[in-house]
């Protein structure tokens, strides 16, 4: 309901926290500078594109919702390229939004040419990008495991975490990646048995915050 109304998902543990969350949300509404923002990535037909952040989609575009002034949204995309693909991989990124009155739409486009596999192997890893991808992937894995745990699938839930750990370790021994792997490893036993409802909600909120470039969960209003 919150996201459908261009708001955000929150877990409010105590009633006394409600004013703080409402103040934060209303403050963002007052600072809104763009409504119904959408991102579209155009690529050759054989290329499959996935937004790792798990954003909702509509009309082949990824929905960002309303954007507030001075806010930053980090997006991570994964491209699945067939081995038979030849030639440069040209992409077209489009960001579109409407003004506050909902009357005028603005569109910004950016052309990008992806490096070939050979070139990528010779290029130093961008540790900032890899770290962000690792954080978002780990967040999605936690949310998937939480859903399985809630449904009583205590074998499948930790299996999801183990599979994600294995994939993250393929990124190498970068500190940011190893930190996420260690964090996931520490949760394995928790997913293998019924999880406390409050702990599960806190974890889902924290994972959502990572995926959607929200505030640091540790900065959220706490019980007074």
Q: Which of 2-16, 53-67, 100-114, 198-212 has the lowest mean pLDDT?
A: 2-16
Same domain, 117 and 200: no
Total domains, the chain: 2
**4-36: pLDDT as tens digits:** 555 566 667 777 777 766 666 665 666 788 888
Closest residue by Cα to residue 173 from 207, 115, 125:
125
Same domain, 110 and 132: no
Please tell me which residue, 161 or 49, carries the higher pLDDT value. Answer: 161
What is the CATH classification number for the domain harbouring 68? Answer: 2.60.40.1670
Domain boundary (123, 148, 171) is at 123
Backbone angles phi, psi at 41, to 5 degrees: -115, 115
Domain range for residue 119? 33-123
Q: What is the pTM of this model?
A: 0.78
Give the residue-averaged pLDDT of 94-108.
88
* 66 CB burial (10 A radius; 0-12, 13-18, 19+): buried
Cβ within 8 Å of residue 47, ≥6 positions away: 79, 80, 81, 82, 85, 89
Same domain, 119 and 130: no
Longest dimension (CA), the chain: 60
């Amino acid at each position: 309901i919150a996201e459908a109304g261009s708001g955000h998902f929150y877990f409010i543990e105590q009633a006394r926290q409600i004013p703080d969350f409402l103040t934060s949300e209303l403050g963002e509404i007052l600072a809104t500078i763009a409504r119904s923002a959408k991102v579209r990535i155009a690529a050759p037909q054989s290329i499959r594109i996935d937004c790792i952040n798990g954003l909702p989609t509509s009309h082949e575009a990824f929905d960002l919702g309303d954007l507030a002034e001075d806010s930053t949204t980090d997006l991570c995309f994964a491209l699945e390229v067939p081995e038979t693909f030849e030639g440069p991989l040209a992409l077209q990124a489009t960001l579109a939004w409407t003004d506050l009155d909902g009357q005028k739409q603005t569109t910004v486009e950016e052309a990008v040419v992806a490096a070939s596999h050979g070139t990528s192997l010779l290029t130093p890893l961008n540790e900032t990008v890899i770290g962000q991808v690792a954080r978002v992937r780990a967040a999605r894995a936690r949310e998937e495991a939480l859903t399985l745990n809630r449904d009583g699938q205590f074998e499948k839930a930790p299996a999801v975490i183990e599979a994600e750990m294995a994939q993250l370790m393929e990124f190498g021994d970068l500190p940011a990646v190893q930190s996420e792997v260690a964090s996931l490893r520490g949760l394995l036993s928790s997913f293998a048995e019924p999880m406390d409802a409050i702990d599960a909600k806190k974890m889902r909120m924290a994972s959502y915050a990572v995926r959607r470039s929200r505030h640091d969960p540790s900065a959220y209003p706490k019980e007074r």
